[in-house]
Structure 1
């Protein structure tokens, strides 16, 4: 929320049960949540009935799909947190990052966060070096990297990046 003016357009990509998107919506932003897991989509819709939740995986979030649902086609902020990138299909990381970047409005940013160690047992390992290489290949640049959402210094446990188009 601190990164945005009131009323900003936000995409919560890989929204899970919708908690982050619902919080940002409560702060006055226009939020669209996208989540491919049907169980989590239903949970989000039950828990946050005012949150627009689209049953889409990241690569299916296209301007056409957004327009069909009455959602904005570009966003001031794309949130992709909670280890989402460690669960995308292997070797799709660059395509996923390209898609997220393609949905940015001019001046828009992407907020990405995931565990480097101690994350979910089913998550893949994704090193900072691999991530930066993939982000660069996707036409993005790293503006900032932190060790957490509280902006603590970089560590080897968790990583938060703020990206924008290169």
Structure 2
């Protein structure tokens, strides 16, 4: 699943967290989509900020991150947060169970190794409980330098090929109208 390096990501969010900046937008939206005590997978958890925020809101969270440096930073920044060092493609329902929501935010999809998008989306779909959904978001423009461009029509085609449907597309985690800068997607199983 891993693609290009995420230069500066960890340092940037560590600074934001240390200064008390609001870094919970994704977690607030995810929480609003869920019943109390839901089971959530944070795929590409990075330093763990979304997983930690959802855990604080009472959800059972499994955080998965392939980058060992980010796993270590997550454990330092959020003591007690369990973060699995693993690639999403290595996960199976037999190993981690199934989830009410898979969170794949913060540009995770534009950092995938090119050509793995459909595999990753299909794997995430396989980890959903009946009625489960995937919340994803990424920059369409202005992404970090190492990110690749992932046009909305490609995401839709990849999601459909992976057995998913688009239930919602908006322009922010605060549900602003869809735009050409950032995209937030809510996906669910097509069947």
| TM-score normalised to structure 1 length | 0.94
2:85 to 55, 58, 70: 55
Please say which of residues 30-39 and 44-53 is displaced more in the overlay. 44-53
**1:143 is matched with which residue?**
167
Deviation at 1:64, TM superposition (A): 3.7
The aligned residue for residue 131 of structure 1 is: 155
The answer on 1:34 being equivalent to 2:64 is yes
Say which SS state the counterpart of residue 129 (structure 2) adopts.
Answer: strand
Unaligned residue ranges in structure 1 (runs of 5+):
67-72
* CA shift for structure 1 position 50: 2.1
Q: Does 1:22 align with 2:46?
A: no
Q: Distance in 2 between matches of 1:143 and 1:50?
A: 34
CA distance in 2 between counterparts of 1:111 and 1:34 reads: 15
Q: What is the aligned length?
A: 160
**What displacement does 1:133 show?**
0.3
| CA positional deviation for 1:43 | 0.8
1:42-92: per-residue Cα shift (whole Å, max 9, x none)?
A: 1111122222210011111222432xxxxxx00000000011011111111
5+ long unaligned stretches in structure 2: 1-30
